[in-house]
Amino acid sequence: MGFGVSSFAALTATMAEREERRFAQVSRESVALMAESAGVELGEEMAAVLAEDVCYRLREAAQSCSQFMKHAKRKKLTVEDFNRALRWSNVEAVCGYGAQDALPFRSGKEGELFFVEDREINLIELALATNIPKGCAETMVRVNVAYLDGKGGVELQGAVPTAVQSLSDDLLKYYQQITRAILGDDPHLMKVKSVSHDLEQLNRLLHMVRSLVQNPYLYLGSYVRSLVSSVMYCILEPLAASINPLNDHWTLRDYAALLLSNIFWTHGDLVSGLYHQILLSLQKVLSDPVRPLCSHYGAVVGLHALGWKAVEKVLFPHLPAYWANLQAVLDDYSVSNAQVKADGHKVYGAILVAVERLLKMKALSLSHPGEWCFNAQTGSLAAAVGYSSPGLSPPPESLSEAAFGIASHLQAGSGGCPWEEWAPVSLPAMYLELYSFFGDSLAVRFSTGPGLDSPPYCPSALLREPKKEALGQGSNSDTARKMPQLTANLSISPRRDGSPRTDPPPPSLRSRYSSSRSAQRLTGLPRDVFPKARFASPQNGPPSFSFVIGGRQMGQRCQGRRPFQTVFAPTPPPAAVPPRAYAHKLPVIGRVGKPVRRWTCSHYSLLLPL
Amino acid sequence: MAAVQGGMVDEKEEVDIKTEPQSDGLMNTNATDGRQLSPSPSSSSSAGSTKSAAGAPEDQQTLLAVLQFLRKNKLTESVEILRREAGLPEDALDTKGADCSAPSSGGTAGGVDGLDAGSLLSRVAVSSSAGTPAPTKAAVADDQPDVSVVLSAYSQQGDPALYKVYYSDLKKFIESVLDCHRAELSQVFYPLFVHMYLELVYNNHESEAKAFFEKFSGDQECYYEDDLRVLSSLTKKEHMRGNETLLDFRTSKFVLRISRDSYQLLKRHLQERQNNQIWNIIQEHLYIDIFDGMPRSKSQIDAMSGSLAGEAKREANKAKVYYGLLKEPEIEVPLDDEDEEAENEEGKPKKKKPKKDSMGSKSKKQDPNAPLQNRIPLPELKDSDKLDKIMYMKESTKRIRLGRENLPSICFYTFLNAYQGLTAVDFTDDSSLIAGGFADSTVRVWSVTPKKLRKVKSAADLNLIDKESDDVLERIMDEKTASESKILYGHSGPVYGISFSPDRNYLLSCSEDGTVRLWSLLTFTCLVGYKGHNYPVWDTQFSPYGYYFVSGGHDRVARLWATDHYQPLRIFAGHLADVTCTRFHPNSNYVVTGSSDRTIRLWDVLTGNCVRIFTGHKGPIHTLAFSPNGKFLASGATDGRVLLWDIGHGLMVSELKGHTDTVYALRFSRDGEILASGSMDNTVRLWDAAKAFDDLETDDFTAATGHIHLQDNSQELLLGTYMSKSTPVVHLHFTRRNLLLAAGSYAA
């Protein structure tokens, strides 16, 4: 029987392939073997004749069973069809293979033995099982207008996307779980686009994407691309939810950007071709003045998430052009513009963070050969702006390692399609240019920004990290959502803390916040000027908050970006001060206030040549 | 299952009865021409008996053979009866005829296959008798002598090694002749190849046979691929017994149409070369239909060839076919007008009246091509039928005129959770009900209107209701049973075909279990199980006037039944392989069958004769559709092509190429302008039928010779391709207002 079945399977296989003219053969040896097992001794000749006849009968049966398939209007020949053919030719049917699923047909480890996998089933367990399956769903008819007047296609009801069909059973279950998790009971949410009004949904969706991406047992293959595209959607699109300022779509964008970088980290091999494409689309959004600011914001955080190289390639060359637009928004003080302006500040903050990181990483990449070199670099840089921070130099080896990680990744990612228009700009030149835009705030952030204290990069840490990020994100967004409109700006800070995501923040996230808070309190200086900063501090003391406010306040007095910058000067030190660096940091922070005015002057001088 | 077809024959029987070429009409055992089809049991029994054949010499021989067989099996009583009957005049009815055939068929089991008529006769006898025991033993045990009879033609010995030489010699010759003859003579290759191969196999030259097959199988036309595959597995004499394909080749002569010039050329060549081997085969196994005139071109030949037994003989399509529609009953018009007026008085002003009149007058005109109104007895119209007709008239006034510029909307009925089990679908004519046949032996009926399906009350409850009340029809229904769908259990195998009766009171289903069942849609129970096909029944359909229905199955015959008779009224035998689909002509006087022998046959319900044979499909035919005016026929096959036929002239009209998989559904729009085809390739395609028929120009020559020139205008005729989402289209239906309904089960 076993042989019969196996050759039958082989036979149906051959039938499936039309061009395959050869049919399954049952060898003489098989027949002899079967006879032996039945206790009959067969002569060589007899076995040969029998084998040939068996072959013929099998072919005949296969021929006649195919018509049962055709009349049942199926494309797949089933065991049932074959049994019918056997029954009609008065041959005993093959029992036990009536399952609808395809039978796994395997070859033995050694020799040319093929068999159908036949698991043993514990009947007792089956009989006493309490989780009796509920049975299949009722067969039903559903109607829908497929084509109206011979035009257009309306989706078929109950149809599942074609891609799903090819899934195996396990994957199908997984798919169902996922769809249920995402969609709940609402079948209308099949597409991202249809949920753009519902941040909750989008958030859920993103979290689902994250878990998909992080599932080490799931090979996403080409589906990564579609994931990326949905994530990009969340980053860039002017979602319907953005209309209401109370909606915290910023967090969503941050999270999506984080996810994007995460995908690139973990699935770099799969999306290598996409990198260039994504950069292009980000650039497109950024250079499109018609797009709302939230899209621009998304583009900036997206670039930031893709690493400093991306920022250097895309954002940096665009900055001069973009700056004008942003400035115009920021300088418009009409009431009607308030919301837009708040958005503008968001973008400003995002750019600042991105740029800061760019500078820092660039400096690091230049100084990678050694600690001293790095220090020298920073030193010289700092000297160039009239500010030295020898005591602040962080342990460079760890960071440079991380920098390499990102850089090499980016190079790998963009290897296929080099960024042609991009000509590297030397670090000082870049700094000068950027400084022309951001002024002091840049300097402050540059000298004391986060990331310098990152732990050594390791992939596992990266994998774990996002969860923490997500947590932080969630709590941040909570506060942000509770805030009234004016203080919605607060979420800048979580973003800024969270945005250098390619660079994993230290595990001691909390302590860092608290330290920065205490640092703030200690300095006292910024608080006098910007009392509103206190709003932020209970959560995580985002320094950028204060400078934004400051910018606005100062802007009232003066025009343009210069006053803007002068105001930045009193900005408190950034949050990311490692606890151990805290002691060293104290005096520095205290000093921050003083050099400010000098910087403004130097800034002027720097600006003139431009 | 193939084995049974072989049947058996008496060893003492004269083994070398020559098979005479016979027209298919003669092969039928039905009542002879002219006899009115009277739906009475006695007439139906005559279908099973053999007496009608008396007269023709070959039929006498058949009778003799049957008698001998019966005697050998000690069925003396049957012998007596048969002899008595054979002597009687043919129109005499004897109810014992049925009794005669029943016991005899139990023994013959598969038929006396010695000769054409005999084989079909006995096969008919077997399958027509209801309670035939399973023919297992007989078939298996007695195959051998039969085959020896059959294959005796192959016993002539030639040198097996020379076969290759003969064949390649002929091949060389045909390749060297003028182009115009080459295409025609090339037709000889395939039948010759098969017969030579079988001869080799029969004479136990296995290795030579294999070598021969290897060498020349590649030369054959690609559409014979399926047959070649069967052939290739056949390498031993023992295997030949009971092989369907082999039997087909033997029982029927392969028909070729060759011009006289080409034929002379071939004949001369073979005689010059003394190539007797090939000449013998041509003489014995081929029927060459010689015509005078220009040889046909390759494309002309290709359009018509592809069937299992070559093309149809020209004579086969000569009979007159009354394809016109029957006159609508006279009572219809006044009734309809009255009703319309009543309607108008209530609602709109009487605007439609002149329109109505014109329609009425149109239907009054007698179509010269229509059969006589009483050619076959049709059921009287009931009041409910008249009401339905009125409804139909009303609906048709609201019908959308379809055309090239005005394509129909398509509604798709998707069967969900059917687990690939949906095998057949049908809609009622008024599109109020949909039924599905399933592989799990069930038939399910759904109401597609808000009106739910209700059963009639139980007998006890029915006694209680007031029978005089006006709404008695409403009162007999049991509200408690109202539901959207009902399941009909009864079959013991996959249901392959279903059909609603025109009055929506009945449903037919046919199944793998060999039965056709009639279900009541009032009680949702099975009323009758029609046993006759002892093999899977592939398709069944109600007559457009109800009462009659036709079924066709694996036993290669189609049967005509009346709902109140447990035995068939007619048996349409002649197909060389399974009858895969059956359809009634709109005038109910004809039945068309498609088969896996790749031919379509049109049968006269009255006489039981085959009046048309259409060849040209390259695969088993799975669907057929008549145009509403009854003039044309569309057919779809596994080759994905749809062919259009002119019934009156017996010609192929058009070839519609586009589908990439089996066409399972065909339907003309209500006014015949559009042809919709649905396929396994998940598409519905719309074709400009009106244009295809308008372009048709039938000159006398074409009509006389049947040589058609088809221009490839599929793309011109294709009006649209509509995709479904992985849902093969199993059924198509135009509502009375010309909305296209499609149905299929979602294939997950």
pLDDT digits (tens, 9 = 90+) for A132-144: 766 667 777 887 7
* A41 secondary structure, DSSP code: -
H or E segment and range at residue B78: helix B76-87
| pTM of the predicted model over 0.90 | no
Residues A443-483 pLDDT 10s: 555 444 444 343 444 343 333 444 444 344 434 433 333 33
A123 has pLDDT over 60: yes
Chain B contacts of A23, Cβ < 8 Å? Answer: 233
Which pLDDT does position A176 carry in this prediction? 64
More confident residue, A369 or B649: B649
Which pLDDT does position A525 carry in this prediction? 40
Pairwise CA distance, residues B668 & B676, whole Å = 6
Chain A contacts of B726, Cβ < 8 Å? Answer: 159, 162, 165
Contact call for A85 and B730, based on CB within 8 A = no
Question: If we measure between CA atoms, which residue out of B356, B245, B218, B310 comes closest to residue B613?
Answer: B310
Classify the C-alpha dihedral B248-B252-B256-B261 as positive or negative: positive
Chain B contacts of A76, Cβ < 8 Å? Answer: 420
Q: Are strands B410-416 and B740-745 parallel, antiparallel or unpaired?
A: parallel
Pairwise CA distance, residues B145 & B202, whole Å = 14
Which pLDDT does position A185 carry in this prediction? 44
- In one-letter notation, the amino acid at residue A9 is A
Q: Most B CBs within 10 Å: which of A7, A73, A140, as the mutation test of the B interface?
A: A73
User: B517's torsion region: left (phi>0), alpha (psi -120 to 50) or beta?
Assistant: beta
In A332-384, which residue ranges form alpha helices assigned H by DSSP? 338-366, 371-384
Pairwise CA distance, residues B724 & B183, whole Å = 41
Residue B230 main-chain phi, psi, to 5 deg: -65, -45
- Provide the ipTM: 0.76
**Residue A516 contacts by C-beta under 8 Å, 6 or more apart in sequence?**
A540, A541, A543, A573, A574, A575, A576, A577
Residues B421 and B440: beta-carbon distance below 8 Å: yes
Residues A180-213 pLDDT 10s: 655 554 444 444 444 455 667 677 777 777 777 6
Instruction: Out of B136, B730, B746, name the one closest to residue A159 (CB).
Output: B746
Which pLDDT does position A600 carry in this prediction? 39
Residues A311-329 pLDDT 10s: 777 777 777 777 777 777 7
Tell me how far CA of residue A605 lies from CA of A274, A356, A554, B663, in angstroms: 43, 21, 21, 83
Chain A contacts of B420, Cβ < 8 Å? Answer: 72, 74, 76, 100
Residues A227-247 pLDDT 10s: 777 777 777 776 665 666 666
Instruction: Out of A53, A145, A159, name the one closest to residue B409 (CB).
Output: A145
Pairwise CA distance, residues B617 & B599, whole Å = 7
More confident residue, B726 or A555: B726
* A418 secondary structure, DSSP code: -
A137 touches chain B (CB under 8 A): yes
First CA to last CA distance, chain A: 89
Pairwise CA distance, residues B91 & B730, whole Å = 44
Place of tokens 């919709």: B676
Which pLDDT does position A575 carry in this prediction? 42
Query: Comparing A490-494, A578-582, B68-72, which segment has the lowest mean pLDDT?
Result: A490-494
Pairwise CA distance, residues A341 & A548, whole Å = 11
Place of tokens 């139980």: B458
Residues A57 and A72: beta-carbon distance below 8 Å: no
Question: Of A114-118, A422-426, A466-470, where does the model show the most confidence?
Answer: A114-118
CB-based burial label for B87 (10 Å; 0-12, 13-18, 19+): exposed
Contact call for A53 and B236, based on CB within 8 A = yes
Nearest CA in chain B to A56: B233
Q: What is the largest CA-CA distance in chain A?
A: 111
A152 touches chain B (CB under 8 A): no
Question: Within its chain, how far is the Cα of B320 from the centroid?
Answer: 19
Q: What is the largest CA-CA distance in chain B?
A: 91
CATH class of A22-122: mainly alpha
Q: Which pair of structure tokens corresponds to residue A251? A: 């967090």
**Residue B355 contacts by C-beta under 8 Å, 6 or more apart in sequence?**
B397
Which pLDDT does position A272 carry in this prediction? 64
Number of residues that make up chain B: 748
Number of residues that make up chain A: 610
A71 touches chain B (CB under 8 A): yes
Q: Most B CBs within 10 Å: which of A7, A26, A147, as the mutation test of the B interface?
A: A147
Contact call for A139 and B728, based on CB within 8 A = no
Integer-rounded Cα radius of gyration of chain A: 33
**Residue B306 contacts by C-beta under 8 Å, 6 or more apart in sequence?**
B221, B223, B224, B598, B615, B616, B617, B618
**Residue B439 contacts by C-beta under 8 Å, 6 or more apart in sequence?**
A72, A80, B420, B421, B422, B423, B494, B495
Residue B455 three-state SS:
strand
Write out residues 107-146 of B within 8 Å (CB-CB) of A. Answer: 136, 140
H or E segment and range at residue B636: strand B632-637
Which pLDDT does position B155 carry in this prediction? 59
Pairwise CA distance, residues B430 & B504, whole Å = 9
Which pLDDT does position B474 carry in this prediction? 83
Residue B456 three-state SS:
strand
Q: Which pair of structure tokens corresponds to residue A452? A: 């310098």
Average pLDDT across each block of 10 residues of chain B; the chain has 748 residues. List them in order. Answer: 39 38 41 42 40 50 74 78 66 39 38 37 38 38 45 62 84 86 87 87 84 85 81 80 70 84 88 80 85 83 83 83 82 48 44 42 64 87 84 85 87 83 92 92 92 88 83 84 91 94 93 94 93 92 93 93 93 91 94 93 93 92 94 93 90 89 94 92 91 73 66 83 87 92 84
Pairwise CA distance, residues B172 & A491, whole Å = 89
Residues B371 and B605: beta-carbon distance below 8 Å: no
Residue A298 three-state SS:
helix
Pairwise CA distance, residues B151 & B250, whole Å = 8
Pairwise CA distance, residues A413 & A264, whole Å = 8
Strand partners, B610: B603
Write out residues 154-173 of A within 8 Å (CB-CB) of B. Answer: 155-160, 162, 165
Question: Helix, strand, coil shares of chain B as percentages rounded to 5?
Answer: 35, 25, 40
H or E segment and range at residue A142: strand A140-147
Tell me how far CA of residue B517 lies from CA of A71, B492, B512, B569, B748, in angstroms: 18, 11, 12, 16, 30
B409 touches chain A (CB under 8 A): yes
In A89-198, which residue ranges form alpha helices assigned H by DSSP? 123-128, 162-165, 169-183
Q: Are strands B731-734 and B740-745 parallel, antiparallel or unpaired?
A: antiparallel
Residue A49 three-state SS:
helix
CB-based burial label for B101 (10 Å; 0-12, 13-18, 19+): buried
Chain B contacts of A137, Cβ < 8 Å? Answer: 416-417
Which pLDDT does position A391 carry in this prediction? 39
Same fold across A22-122 and A189-367+425-446:
no
Residues A603 and A569: beta-carbon distance below 8 Å: no
| Residue ranges covered by each domain of chain A | 22-122, 189-367+425-446
Question: Within its chain, how far is the Cα of B454 from the centroid?
Answer: 35
Q: Most A CBs within 10 Å: which of B248, B414, B741, as the mutation test of the A interface?
A: B414
Residues B581 and B558: beta-carbon distance below 8 Å: no
Q: Are strands B570-573 and B579-584 parallel, antiparallel or unpaired?
A: unpaired
Which pLDDT does position B703 carry in this prediction? 61
Pairwise CA distance, residues A298 & A231, whole Å = 11
A73 touches chain B (CB under 8 A): yes
Instruction: Out of B238, B414, B436, name the one closest to residue A156 (CB).
Output: B414
CATH class of A189-367+425-446: mainly alpha
Strand partners, B723: B683
Residue A307 main-chain phi, psi, to 5 deg: 110, 165
The number of CA neighbours under 13 Å toward the Cβ of B511 is 26
Strand partners, B655: B643
More confident residue, B460 or A383: B460
Q: Which pair of structure tokens corresponds to residue A377? A: 């670099």
Q: Which pair of structure tokens corresponds to residue B716? A: 């011109």
Q: Which pair of structure tokens corresponds to residue B70? A: 């019966």
- In one-letter notation, the amino acid at residue A85 is A
Pairwise CA distance, residues B574 & B612, whole Å = 11
